[in-house]
Structure 1
Amino acid sequence: MTMLSVAEARTKARTRLSSSMALWAAEATGEVRVEIALKPPTEKQVLSDQTAAADWAGSWRAVEGKAGDASRLEIDWEDRTWARVGRQRVPIRLRLLTPDEVAGFVGGDAARDWRKLRDRAQLIRERFRAESNDTASIGDEDAEDTEDGSSLAAAIRSQSKRILSLSDAAFVTAVDVVDWLRTHRLGSLRPRQLPIRGVDSKWFETHRSLVTALLGGTGQVDAVSVLDAEPRLRLRILDSTLIDTHLDDITAPISQLSRLPLSPRVVFVFENLESVLAMPEWQGAVAVHGSGYAVDGTARLQWIAGAHIIYWGDLDSHGFAILNRLRSHLPAVDSVLMDEATLLTHRDLWVPEPKPSTGVLAHLTGTEARALDRLRAEGDVRLEQERIPWDMALNRLRTAAGESSVPHDS
């Protein structure tokens, strides 16, 4: 028989609750419409097993009879008149009209999760309602329909899994942090400066996305500056005439490095720090440590825009992914030693790449794309930057930089 059992209906309702609870909690949805067809039997099916049909109808009468205030539900019944069975009253549809009704019918962990998420979303709305009311017109009783209210709902929805996963104490702390940050406009702070018990840099690493989203939902996204130490870069000034300083190896926040009065003709961006440190004096040149996927921070250096930028990374899928990322910000970047010929010349130095990148890299040249295809075809191999002989690397860098930028004679 095709009759839908109570257990099967609960499975369907549980699936709907799991997929919709973030939306329902975020938007404080009071009414929903979850309808589940119960697939009543035909006369032929009843005749084939009247006991099963009767038990099935009885199970739905029992569900309807047990439904209390916390698990109200509606079952549509219909009279069927069959020639050989007579008149029978059968359930045809289960209707659940609120999220609480859905949760009450489902029961178990899913219902507990719903109630927790519902209550926490309500607490967030109540705690930050003043932000929404600030933009609502006088007398507007539905402040949560304002743009800010919608933004807060979107933040709750996007962070529902994290909101649900927190312990009670951790959730209260997260809300306290958001509330403190949005009401204390003190500029950029370090996590150590926040007067909230138990909050430190490690706490922010764990809860950054939630705090950022909720601050954005209250219209105070700029207050999130406390969460991040400004990214730092390391660079070497290879030509002492470029700047009036005795420093040639500098590590500092990007904003400070960007203000240096530099006008290099060529900027080398290397994935490997040892390559940066090994660079000789070079007329008009600066070498920057790209720091892997943080390489796009290089594009924030104001003085880099007018320079010839040369990137050299590991010959592996991640090296090309990093190059692709840099070139998405600085399209004119040239690569060096990231071609198929270099790969094949050093076959004896290959090692396996344990977790290759599989993304689509739209900013590679044809030469680079062929090298990437080849290393994948060879079984996801990699040629690390440091394995290439230094003399060979310098010659290729000279060629890439052009005649106007060559190392000083030593």
Structure 2
Amino acid sequence: MGEPPKLLMPSDVTARARRTVDRNLKSWLFGATVDDLTMRLGSPSEAAVAAHRGVVENWVHAWQVSPLDVRWEERRWPSLGRQRLPVAVTIAGADAIVSAAGETRRWRSLQQRCARLQALDDAPHWPEVVDSTFRYWNGLTDDDFERLLAVVRWLQQHPHSGLLIRQLPIPGVDTKWLGAHRTAVTSLVVPLGVPEDLGLRERELLRAVVIADPALRQGLPRIFAAPDRELATLAIAAHQILVVENLQTLEALPDVPDTVAVFGWGDNSVAVADFPWVRNARRVRYWGDLDIDGFDILARFRARCPCESLLMDEASVHRWRGLAVPYGAGGSVDVAWLTESERTALDVLQREGLRLEQERIPMDAVVDLLMV
């Protein structure tokens, strides 16, 4: 009997239409020319029809009931007589191709979204903005698109509100939503004249401080937190300033004479280097995790403010090695700002893939060094 003839079924055309839609949907949405989609359905010979009559009959019937625009041709064969066979399908226009792909709902939704976004502004450049931001609003759920539109409209009307994110009076929009969709929002509102920061006021970080010497407190609590702009103006005259990387470690620090400790807060540690009372202290010490991030922060802090490290040397690595954990993170450190012992410690940790978190080291060992 041989192999059955190669015949395209309606499902094959649907799959081809869907691939065509996926490739061209955006360009069609913004006015690109739509080429007709023409597919030949097969051309079985008389012998093939005779050998695979059931297959061919199913194929013919499938196209007889198809809603697509099918072109039929008549065949006259000596043994089979006159037969009318489907030859090709032509699908003309975006609407028809989208319908054949089963994507009409998606197409209509995107057309409506595009029209609503276009209506936000009549500036000559605005259609290009809507086009360039397609990847952000194309995949949103209907609810999230409505929220996006509401946020854009509100910011368009209030470009310099000075509100915190939580204060935005937009139904369904909270801090978490705006955080997840901020790129989409920014890409649409900045071309409308809204600042990159959306005209919003960022919540200030509250940095913790421990006045470890009771004589220095002068009515202040032992531990408190405030924004950097307020902390920088404090009238503190401590002999020793300790910048601590871990908040719990800071909280656990006992009283130490003539010492004030400050929470570093990762990359924000460098800001502490600019506090006048830190720069004026006779001794500034940075105590971070024994890992690549800790040494990177130490190097950048030292580039801004002369300081010593605490428990971040070769001896500390060897002494507390049993408390280290596996750690394979990469990164780079400007080792020019590290001492020889600090560089050696970093080399050991990187070579052996280890990390020693500062809170693992007994506090007694820390206090002994701080008292020196």
Partner Cα separation in structure 2 for residue 190 and residue 156 of structure 1: 28
The one of 23, 48, 52 aligned to 1:49: 52
Contact 2:206 2:226 in 1 (8 A): yes
Query: Which amino acid in the other structure matches residue 303 of structure 1?
Result: D
Contact 1:78 1:91 in 2 (8 A): yes
| Structure 1 residue 158, shift from structure 2 partner | 2.3
Which position in structure 2 is the counterpart of 1:151? 129
Query: Which amino acid in the other structure matches residue 212 of structure 1?
Result: T
The one of 351, 376, 385 aligned to 2:358: 385
Q: Deviations over 1:270-312 (max 9, x none)?
A: 442122231765889763331xxxx334445671799788462
TM-score between the two structures when normalised by the length of structure 1: 0.60
Q: Equivalences for 1:322-401 in 2 at 5 Å? A: 323=294, 349=323, 360-363=330-333, 368=346, 371=349, 374-375=352-353, 384-393=357-366
1:288 aligns with 2:290: no
Partner Cα separation in structure 1 for residue 301 and residue 195 of structure 2: 27
Partner Cα separation in structure 1 for residue 334 and residue 226 of structure 2: 30
CA RMSD after TM alignment:
5.5
1:114 aligns with 2:107: yes
Which position in structure 2 is the counterpart of 1:137? none
What SS does the aligned partner of 2:226 have?
Answer: strand
Query: Which amino acid in the other structure matches residue 146 of structure 2?
Result: V
Contact 2:207 2:225 in 1 (8 A): yes
What SS does the aligned partner of 2:274 have?
Answer: helix
Contact 1:57 1:91 in 2 (8 A): no
Residues 222 and 51 of structure 1: CA distance in aligned 2, closer, same or farther (over 3 Å): same
1:190 aligns with 2:164: yes
Partner Cα separation in structure 1 for residue 295 and residue 74 of structure 2: 67
Partner Cα separation in structure 1 for residue 75 and residue 347 of structure 2: 68
| Structure 1 residue 189, shift from structure 2 partner | 0.9
Residues 38 and 246 of structure 1: CA distance in aligned 2, closer, same or farther (over 3 Å): farther
Note the residue ranges of structure 2 that are not aligned, 5 or more in a row. Answer: 336-342
Contact 1:151 1:216 in 2 (8 A): no
Contact 1:191 1:199 in 2 (8 A): no
Which position in structure 2 is the counterpart of 1:6? 10
Partner Cα separation in structure 1 for residue 15 and residue 268 of structure 2: 48
Which position in structure 2 is the counterpart of 1:379? none
The one of 288, 292, 306 aligned to 1:312: 288
Q: Percent identity?
A: 22
Q: Deviations over 1:327-371 (max 9, x none)?
A: 8977959987679986776576567x8xx8x87534587864763
What SS does the aligned partner of 1:129 have?
Answer: coil
Contact 2:256 2:367 in 1 (8 A): no
Query: Which amino acid in the other structure matches residue 106 of structure 1?
Result: A
Q: Which moved more, 1:181-190 or 1:205-214?
A: 205-214
1:28 aligns with 2:30: yes
What SS does the aligned partner of 1:296 have?
Answer: helix
| Structure 1 residue 43, shift from structure 2 partner | 4.6
Query: Which amino acid in the other structure matches residue 15 of structure 2?
Result: T
Contact 2:242 2:260 in 1 (8 A): yes
Partner Cα separation in structure 2 for residue 165 and residue 111 of structure 1: 16
TM-score between the two structures when normalised by the length of structure 2: 0.64
Q: Which has the larger radius of gyration?
A: 2
Residues 196 and 10 of structure 1: CA distance in aligned 2, closer, same or farther (over 3 Å): same
1:213 aligns with 2:187: yes
Contact 1:75 1:93 in 2 (8 A): yes
Which position in structure 2 is the counterpart of 1:129? 121
| Structure 1 residue 104, shift from structure 2 partner | 0.9
Contact 2:212 2:255 in 1 (8 A): yes
| Structure 1 residue 233, shift from structure 2 partner | 3.1
Contact 2:10 2:63 in 1 (8 A): yes
Residues 385 and 51 of structure 1: CA distance in aligned 2, closer, same or farther (over 3 Å): same
Which position in structure 2 is the counterpart of 1:101? 96
What SS does the aligned partner of 2:262 have?
Answer: strand
Aligned residues between the structures: 349
Q: Deviations over 1:188-219 (max 9, x none)?
A: 21245544455554654565444333323534
Note the residue ranges of structure 1 that are not aligned, 5 or more in a row. Answer: 68-73, 134-142, 377-381, 399-406
Partner Cα separation in structure 1 for residue 271 and residue 75 of structure 2: 74
Q: Equivalences for 1:157-306 in 2 at 5 Å? A: 157-161=135-139, 164-167=140-143, 171-191=145-165, 193-197=167-171, 199-201=173-175, 204-205=178-179, 207-222=181-196, 224-226=198-200, 228-236=202-210, 249-254=223-228, 256-257=230-231, 270-277=244-251, 278=253, 287-290=262-265, 295-299=266-270, 303=274
Which position in structure 2 is the counterpart of 1:136? none
Q: Deviations over 1:155-213 (max 9, x none)?
A: 3422432xx3142xx64344223212222244421245544455554654565444333
